[in-house]
């Protein structure tokens, strides 16, 4: 009994000194389409499992994103709930399901497609990918009104390293730059105080949403512990036009970027540094343990966050 009480006391003490906790985890299986909120997610060498594993491309193999195809914001994706369990492997009856307004349900088998497409490109990277076939191609062609194909990252033959200036030895699938993006509820709440119309967090598409910390404190985090896993903050997340796109209507407006430019630009946060015209919201991260073998690598909603290292101001953060 005494040992149990001591363990409980230790756990309570640990929770009491946590700097924040995870309030939501989001996976975005198809780049630029809607995310899935999950209670837990397995870590992999490229980020959370299933995150940005698929991509919609044009007839030249170039990635479509919401920047040029905002209608992707209305595409809902779903995976089996068990797909987010540690060690789960798909069967012949496991599917990625895709829905959009005015479209029939599209089901993509999670067993790997046999056909390889060469010349797929997203930003600076190009390589081969696995083609999801004519049915998926027709679905996205009809939905977007232009020739399209859907591809899956070909992890067996391709690697997409992150920029080694910021983090060496890490890779991603079809994410923009880094395996994880973390933001805090406090930061969104603070931003919304300045907006005439509040915006939801889905404008910023984080993987990890945390709560219980001061607004924008994540700017300063260079090393944090989530559960037993060590995450490094490698770069403030610079934002493009996607936050201006209403994820429920696919219609873009000026906010929140106009307000972010006044309060969260490089000129404001980092007056002595370069990239004065960038705006920042959230922190890009890598996870050290994601690269090592071992089981039970689940990050869960409710996990406490302990800040191990941080800088004093956003001007000192890497961006």
- pLDDT tens for each residue of 109-128: 999 888 999 999 999 999 99
Specify the pLDDT at position 140: 98
Asked whether residue 215 is assigned to any structural domain, the reply reads: yes
**Total tally of structural domains belonging to the chain:** 1
Domain-embedded: residue 3: no
Partnered with residue 117 across adjacent β-strands are 129
Q: Domain for residue 1, yes or no?
A: no
Residue 132 belongs to a domain:
yes
**Comparing C-alpha atoms, which of 187, 273, 283, 183 is closest to residue 232?**
283
User: Which residue in 132, 129, 126 sits closest to 160, CA to CA?
Assistant: 126
For residue 7, name the pLDDT band (cuts at 50, 70, 90): low
Task: Give the burial string for 193-226 (b: 16+ CB within 10 Å, else e).
Answer: eeeeeebebbbbbbbbbbebbeebbbbbbbebbb
98 pLDDT band, cuts 50/70/90, is very high
What's the residue count for the chain?
319
Query: pLDDT tens digits, residue range 262-275?
Result: 999 999 999 988 77
Residue 195: domain span? 20-318
Q: How large a percentage of the chain has pLDDT more than 90?
A: 87
């Amino acid at each position: 009994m005494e040992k149990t009480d001591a363990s409980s006391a230790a756990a309570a003490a640990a929770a009491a000194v946590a700097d924040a906790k995870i309030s939501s985890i989001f996976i975005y299986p198809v780049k630029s389409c809607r995310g899935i909120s999950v209670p837990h997610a397995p870590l992999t060498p490229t980020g959370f499992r299933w995150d940005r594993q698929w991509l919609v491309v044009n007839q030249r193999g170039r990635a479509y994103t919401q920047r040029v195809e905002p209608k992707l914001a209305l595409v809902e994706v779903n995976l089996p709930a068990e797909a987010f369990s540690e060690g789960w492997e798909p069967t012949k009856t496991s599917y990625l399901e895709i829905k959009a307004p005015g479209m029939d349900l599209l089901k993509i088998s999670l067993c790997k497609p046999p056909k390889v497409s060469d010349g797929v490109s997203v930003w600076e990277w190009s390589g081969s990918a696995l083609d999801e076939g004519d049915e998926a191609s027709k679905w996205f062609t009809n939905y977007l009104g232009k020739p399209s194909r859907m591809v899956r990252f070909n992890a067996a033959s391709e690697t997409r390293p992150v920029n080694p200036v910021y983090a060496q030895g890490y890779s991603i699938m079809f994410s923009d730059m880094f395996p994880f993006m973390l933001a805090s509820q406090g930061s969104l709440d603070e931003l919304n105080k300045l907006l005439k119309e509040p915006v939801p967090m889905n404008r910023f598409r984080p993987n990890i949403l945390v709560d219980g910390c001061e607004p924008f404190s994540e700017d300063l985090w260079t090393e944090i512990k989530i559960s037993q896993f060590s995450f490094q903050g490698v770069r403030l997340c610079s934002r493009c036009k996607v936050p201006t796109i209403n994820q429920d209507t696919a219609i873009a407006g000026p906010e929140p970027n106009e307000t972010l430019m006044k309060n969260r630009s490089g000129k404001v946060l980092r007056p002595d540094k370069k990239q004065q015209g960038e705006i920042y919201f959230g922190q890009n991260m890598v996870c050290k343990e994601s690269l090592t073998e071992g089981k039970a690598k689940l990050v869960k909603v409710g996990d406490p966050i302990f800040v191990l290292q941080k800088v004093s101001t956003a001007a000192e953060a890497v961006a």
